[in-house]
A and B are shown apart, each in its own frame.
Chain A
């Protein structure tokens, strides 16, 4: 039965898509079964790889007519199962829409298709002295469409903002197959700010088929200062001290000992491997300004108890320091068969407390954790190491992760700062939001997608599912501490 339906679907799609753009068969679909969170896998009914916005629109219209769910996929580097296919759905790959349509140096904008890789935008803008500021560590692979869907950040978003702050206009295909333009080349547009709403909407409100992004002038000089600490909490306090001094660095990242060692083994960044934690603090601006700030930061870091403070000697060393940070996930990934990356964000003042809480739980669950994260924003990325082949370890890793997220909410933070809810954190949404908020999310979703065909089952849980989740086992968080309507 299912097989017949699938054959009919393939035939219908091939009526308007090139033959090779419709992918079917278990073998051929295997590469599409998961995103960057391989704990969740599913084969879609079919995968399609359209070549232009018109074909995307045709696919979505067709699926709308036939009531078939659609899951968008960029480069599948997502870490929350957002691009996880649905067994009864079409996987819509945007990777072939990969052209940079225009760089306008005077207006400082780039018009790109959604499958363009993040780094490619900055590369194309470089000859004009411009760059695209949001720089996720996955930037060599991840796409602008995926960045918009997750509202991705990077090491520079402390000063230059997230994706939402750097996108001017989106062309979006709605669930019903209509093409909308949200935002414009101007700084604001009439009506509700749907441009802002699309950012971080996880492929549930529309399919991005084109983006106009803002480019910034490359600073005259960038410099990075590396500070080593003998206690993780001292490093966390130093973060607050820097911000309190009125300095907003271009980047402020932290790594703990396990992450430092892993990165050092992997890319030879020149990190102090004995340190309990390091901070990487990037300063940018004019030549003199940076020199002045480096001096101030040096004093601040030493005042905060740094055992060693180093300024990159040259551009090569600066890049090496950052390479270690950017390669930290795969580096930690070499320490164990599997790792599970969390993404809670907390107020900066709570960093020390939460890191302590994570360390305690790491001992309880007997699973090592490496911490490497956007300290300036309070956005944690604990990487829980486990082995999926050992019975019970995945479940333990997930329980551990859930506790970290709930702790983040408890101290006034959120379960996800930049990786999205996807399939993965859907339970913890029940901890962060009450039934009324969830109903409001669903009503908003229905305004865009009345039949619920775009990425259903992700990001927003059904309130009744939450009721079950709460009664089932969520005894850790007393109801009074829930950050919903409190």
Chain B
């Protein structure tokens, strides 16, 4: 528990006065993601502590440097969870970094992403001011939804000091079912099942097998299990965790790793390399050294986008934006950070 907001604000103001860019960091677990960090490192990891947690309110507020691990074990003690199942990618992962990277785990298609659970933030903008948006209530439409805008902005719009999240009860029962299916058939099944009232909470195809997780009341899970078939997996939870943390064998090796975000029902993509289908079809992991253009072209052709996730060209990690959108994003960046001191180039070369 340490409140370092004043020091952080001073550091931002100093950087502002001297015109020096800052590279914001949390636990450093996601330093590989997006553009190469540039500027003087400013760590938020000392700004820690759960500020408020009332299980009955389904809300948790913590300082941005609080380790994810601490938050998740606190929640588990009350039978609750972060339903977007954030990947940690390392022991030091902090809440702030999690929100800034905007990454979500296997439950995402059914429960929502980070941005669906963020209720409010306290932050420092590029003028060195401390601001508060949103709050700790479930519904809030006073002012623009700046809190959600911070999700996935990779710290380019401001330094997050504190985040309030909606949390959910843990499901009473959970089971993972495995069955052998081809990729095309698996994608079709995942989508058909998603259209039925089944307690799905994860669905992936690893090249050979379709894995489906069911979460909910014991009776609902049992009924769905009879309906879907397949064999229960003994260490199902470990499987989803290995997928979320990219420790699954699929992610091993030295070739570049791509993340393709596509409409869920998109048939298998004909790209050379290995693929793993997650999020019920909506997220395709690709290990491949095919040229960037080819991958981006195919992703765009089906209405999706491609992120160079690891081991690729960090200068162009994210899918290029159409010109009008690019202009607008630049203006938004300037609205929050007129001097461009926060994480230059982390999201796009120009922001």
Contacts and interface: CB of A to CB of B under 8 A. Distances in A.
Given A184-B303, A188-B152, A247-B169, A447 B141 contact: no
A243 B329 contact: no
Nearest to B219: A288
Interface residues on A, range: 35 or more
B329 A191 contact: yes
A286 B219 contact: yes
Given A187-B113, A418-B141, A485-B130, A217 B196 contact: yes
Secondary structure of the A side of the interface?
loop
A164 B149 CA distance: 12
A292 B219 contact: yes
Given A286-B220, A347-B137, A379-B138, A193 B149 contact: yes
A3 B348 CA distance: 50
Pick the most buried of A179, A180, A417, A444: most chain B CB atoms within 10 A of its CB. Answer: A444
A190 B307 contact: yes
Contact of A448 (B131, B169, B282, B328): B328
B332 interface: yes
A180 B324 contact: yes
Contact of A349 (B57, B142, B192, B196): B57
Given A188-B113, A443-B335, A444-B332, A162 B56 contact: no
Contacts of B140: 345, 414, 416-417
Given A187-B261, A432-B142, A106 B195 contact: yes
Contacts of B58: 243, 248
Contact of B325 (A180, A429, A445): A180
Interface string A395-409: 000000000000000
Contacts of A11: none
Q: Which of A191, A199, A348, A416 has the most CB of B within 10 A?
A: A191
B260 to A, nearest CB: 9
B115 A196 contact: yes
Nearest to B261: A186
Contacts of B157: 192
A415 interface: yes
Interface stretch (B15-23, B202-210, B262-270): B262-270
Contacts of B136: 347, 412
A458 B146 CA distance: 17
A377 interface: yes
Interface string B301-327: 001110100000000001111101100
Of B58, B145, B168, B319, the most chain A CB neighbours within 10 A belong to B145
Contacts of A189: 261, 305
A165 B110 CA distance: 11
A191 B145 CA distance: 16
B347 interface: yes
B130 A187 contact: no
B197 interface: yes
B328 A180 contact: yes
A151 B217 contact: no
Given A186-B263, A379-B139, A191 B148 contact: no
A285 B109 contact: no
A174 interface: yes
15 contacts: A180-B325, A191-B325, A191-B347, A196-B145, A218-B197, A240-B56, A292-B217, A432-B143, A436-B130, A441-B143, A445-B144, A446-B335, A447-B335, A460-B143, A483-B132
Given A193-B148, A288-B220, A421-B143, 16 more contacts: A107-B191, A128-B195, A162-B139, A174-B328, A184-B305, A187-B113, A188-B113, A189-B305, A191-B329, A205-B144, A345-B138, A412-B136, A417-B138, A417-B141, A420-B141, A433-B143
